[in-house]
Chain A
Amino acid sequence: MSELGLEDRERFEQLVLPHVDAAFNLARWLLRGRTDAEDVAQEALLRACRFFGGFHGGDARAWLLQIVRNICYTWLEKNRPLELSMEFDEELHLQTCSTPETLAIAGDDRKRLTLALEMLPPRFREVLVLRELEACSYKEIAAITSIPIGTVMSSLSRARRQLYSVLANPSQGARP
C-alpha cells in the first residue's frame, strides 16, 4: 500500500474530491440505499487514494466512478447475487424491493420515479443514472462500465423503454 505524498495529496484533493457527490449518488442508486452507499463511497475514496499513483490524468470523475462501480458490484455479488443474475428481457421483472401496488399508489413523482428506477436491474439502472443524473457522455459511460459504446446505446434504449413502461403502466409489471 503506498501512501500519498503531499503534492499528490493536493492533486487528489483538486481532481478527485470534487466528485464525492457523484461517487455517493452512483453507489446510492446501485445499492438502493444510503447507508450502504456511504460505506462504499468511503471505501472507494480510500482505494482511489491508494491507487492514485496509477491515475495519469484524464477524466477523474470517470476514473473514480469506475472504482465505485467495481466496489458496488462486488458488494452486490456478495449480498444480493440474485439481483445481478436477473435478466431483463422485454418483460418486466420486478424486484423484491417494492410491489407494483406501492408504485401505483406512490403519490408524489419523486417517490414514483425512485421506485420505478430501483425496479430496473443494476446494469440498466446504472446507465440511466450516469446519463440522466450524472450527465455523462456515451464515451464516459463506456469507460465507467467497461462496455462498448454500441452496447451503452442499446442498454440506454432498453432501460428507458422499461422505465417508461413501468411508469405508464405500473400494475403491468407484476409478472414474476
Chain B
Amino acid sequence: MSDFVGEPATPRHEALRDPSATVSPWTRWTGGVPSSLDAMALELIDIKKHFGAVRANDGITLHVEAGTLHGLLGENGAGKSTLMKILSGFLKADAGTIRLDGTTLALGSPQAAIDAGIGMLHQDPLVFPPLTVLDNFLLGSPGRGLDRAAGAEELGEISSRLGFHFDPNAIVRTLTVGERQQLEITRLLWLGARLLIFDEPTTGISTSQRVELFATLRRLAADGLIVIFVSHKLEEIEELCDSVTVIRHGKVVGEVDMPVPTDRLVEMMFGEVVVEGDRPHVEMGSPALDIADVTITEGTTAIREWSLQTAAGEVIGLAGLEGSGQRTLLRALAGLVKVGSGRISVAGTDITTMSYRDRLRRGIHYLPAGRLEEGLVSGLTITEHLILAGERDAFFLDWDTATDHATDKIDGHQIKGRPESTAESLSGGNQQRLLLAMMPPTLELLLMEHPTRGLDIESAEYVWNRILARRSDGTTIVFASADLDELLRYSDRIVVFFSGEVFRVVPAAELDGDGLGYLIGGKERV
C-alpha cells in the first residue's frame, strides 16, 4: 500500500505523550492503523473569526477526507490564513466546531493542535537559523532528556523514507527554503501529525524543489494523511489537489472535486467581474517610459530582457498573484531595486542608474501599498506630512503658512481630518487622499501599488479620478492591483505576471474578467 512500509520507528516521546497508546502516530502514518480510512476526516463547522469589524472567517464549513490532497483556494485576504491559524492553534475561533476523526477538538494553543495531531508548515518555515538541523528537529519535542544520537537516527530514518537528505550537524541558516520545509515536514511527522497544512509552500522555492515537494505531498496523502494545501495559485491547485474549497470574503463559495474547468475556479475565486462604465479615452502622447531589454532579479522574481514602451498619459496595469514580480518591477522603476542589465528611460532621459532621490526630483513618484508603513509617518500631523513632501527651500518652518496650506489641501482633496490630525488617526481612504495631496503637481511617472486596497467605493472612485486627471498632463501611470475590475477598468494595457516573470502584455480592451483570471493563473484561455 505504501512504499515506506517497514519497521516503524517509534518516537521516544510516544510513551510520555499518551501512556495508554500502543500504536504511535508514526505507525499510523505508515499505514498500520487505522484499518479504515473512512474513519479519518477533518470537519470544520461554521467557523467564525472577527477582527474588529472585519469578518475574516464568516461561518466556514469544510470537510476533508483522509487520504486526499485538499486545496484551499482564495485571493489574498480571502480568509485562508486566518482559518489555518485557527486550525493550528495560533488563533482562537470566535465560534464553530472542529472535528478530527469524529472527535471534537478544543484548540486554542499550538500545543493543543500538536497534541491533536495537526501540523502546520508555515510559508516561511518557523525554523531557527543559527541552530543545527538536528537541534531544530528536536527543539520543542515532548519528553525528557536530550538524546541527540537517538534523535539523529530517527531524523535519518524518517527523512530517508521521505527521500530527504540532511546533514544533522549543518547549520540551518545554510539550508534553502525548500530544505527547511523538508526538515519541518520530517519533524511534524515525527511528532505524529495526521493532518498537515501547507501554507503557500511554493513561495520562495525553486522549480525542482517544487516538483519534489509535490511528490512528497502526494505520497503523504496516499498514506492516509489529511493534507491541506493552501494557495492562491490556480495552476498548482489544478496540478496537485483531489478536491478544492474556494474561499472569498471569509466565506466558502464552493467545494468541488477535481478536475473542474479552470474558468469555474476563476469565477469562484474572483466572483463575477463586471466592468462598469466606459474606459475614459485619452489621446496618447509622445513616448514616455521606455523599458529596453531589462533584466531584474530580486528574490524569486526574474524579469529577463523585457521591453515595454508607453505613451505619455498611458495607464499600465500590473496584474498577477501577490508576489509574482509586480512589486519588484515597480520598485525597480522607482530606483529601489537594482536593474541587472538593460536600460530604462523616462521622457528621453536615461534613469537606469539614477538613485531613488534623484528620480523623485525628476518627477518619478512611488506610492507603496503599506500606507502607514512605507508612505506616512505615525505621530506626524497632516500639516507636517505636507511640509515633508513640499519644497526643500527653507530651513525654518512657517507654521501659519503651512497650516493654511494644509487646510487648502484638506479641502481640495476632501480629507476628513484637521491639519493637526495625525496620520494614524485617519481612515485608510483619508490616508490615501493625504498621500495624493503630498504628490507634486506635475509628474512624469506615477508608480502605485494597490492604490485602492481596503478603501470604500467612494474613496476608491475619488482616488482614481485624481489619478486619471494627471493623464492629460502626460503622466504615465503604472499600477499593480489584485482587483481585476480595477485593472480592466482603468488600464490601457495590462502586464500579467506569473511566478516571477512577465507572462503577457495585453490591451485591456481585449480582455474580460475570465480571460484575465486565466492569465493570472498562468493559463491561456482555450
A binds B: no
